[in-house]
Amino acid sequence: MTLHRRKESIVEYGRQLIASGLTTGTGGNLSILDPDQARILITPSGVAYDAMSPADVVVMDMDGGIIEGRRKPSSEWNFHVALYRKRPDIHAVVHTHSVYATTLACLHWEIPAVHYLVGFAGRKVPLAPYATYGTEELARNVAESIGPANAVLLANHGLVAVGPDLPRAFNTAEEIEFVARLYYLARAAGEPQLLSDDEMDRVIEKFKNYGPNTGTLDD
Ligand SMILES: [Zn+2]
């Protein structure tokens, strides 16, 4: 994929963040890793998604240095970099302030296996301790708390979803917002019945084979 095409996909998924209701205004941010060149493409700070063009996307090195871009990178760039450095399987990061995931993050709750779709993240969605946005401390907390999961709640802040590419990281952000909403509603009504670790491991295995012509998601 060319650098320009990668920048276009950042712009495209930025618009989808708004269209899907996962964020409003200039909230949230996205990045992808270009592993061959050891560089990261990230959304700029303070630019509305509908006004964003590929030229606004910022290219950074793995230490957070700016390689290319007329804009400032997202103020959250350090946790994006920290995640890529921590886990070689992560090639895309999606950060949202979606309402239900953020509500649970404000309660300092993790999301347990309340529904099989939690399997998009893993056996559960862990919670990273609070630190001021944009700080090294928050980057450390996020990278340490995510463990092997594909999503992590950020206390009093929001959600981070990761994946091997942008479509899958984005899809995980959407599914985790859905299960966050279910968990909130279920807890409001009573005590949710959780799935076992064994069952979640079976689901996670099935998800590995999920694709347009393979496996099924009961969808
Ligand atoms: Zn944020």
CATH of the domain at 45: 3.40.225.10
Q: Which of 12, 68, 76, 205 is catalytic?
A: 76
Report the domain count for the chain.
Answer: 1
Strand partners of residue 41: 32, 59
Per-residue pLDDT at 218: 52
215 within a domain of the structure (yes/no): no
Residue 164 lies in a domain: yes
Give the structural domain span for 106: 3-208
Domain contains 217: no
State the distance from the centre of ligand 1 to the C-alpha of 211, rounded, in angstroms: 30
Query: Residue 44's beta-bridge partner residues?
Result: 73
pLDDT value of residue 211: 58
Q: How far is the CA of 37 from the centre of ligand 1 (A)?
A: 27
In a domain, 214, yes or no: no
What is the reported pLDDT for 217? 53
Per-block mean pLDDT, blocks of 10 residues, the chain (219 long)? 93 95 89 92 95 96 92 96 97 97 98 98 98 97 98 98 97 98 98 97 90 49
Residue 219 within any structural domain of the chain: no
CA of 174 to the centre of ligand 1 (A): 16
**So what's the pLDDT on residue 213?**
45
Give yes or no: 175 in active site: no
How far does residue 89's CA lie from ligand 1's centre (Å)? Answer: 22
pLDDT score, position 157: 97
pLDDT at 216: 47
pLDDT at 215: 44
Q: State the pLDDT at residue 25.
A: 83
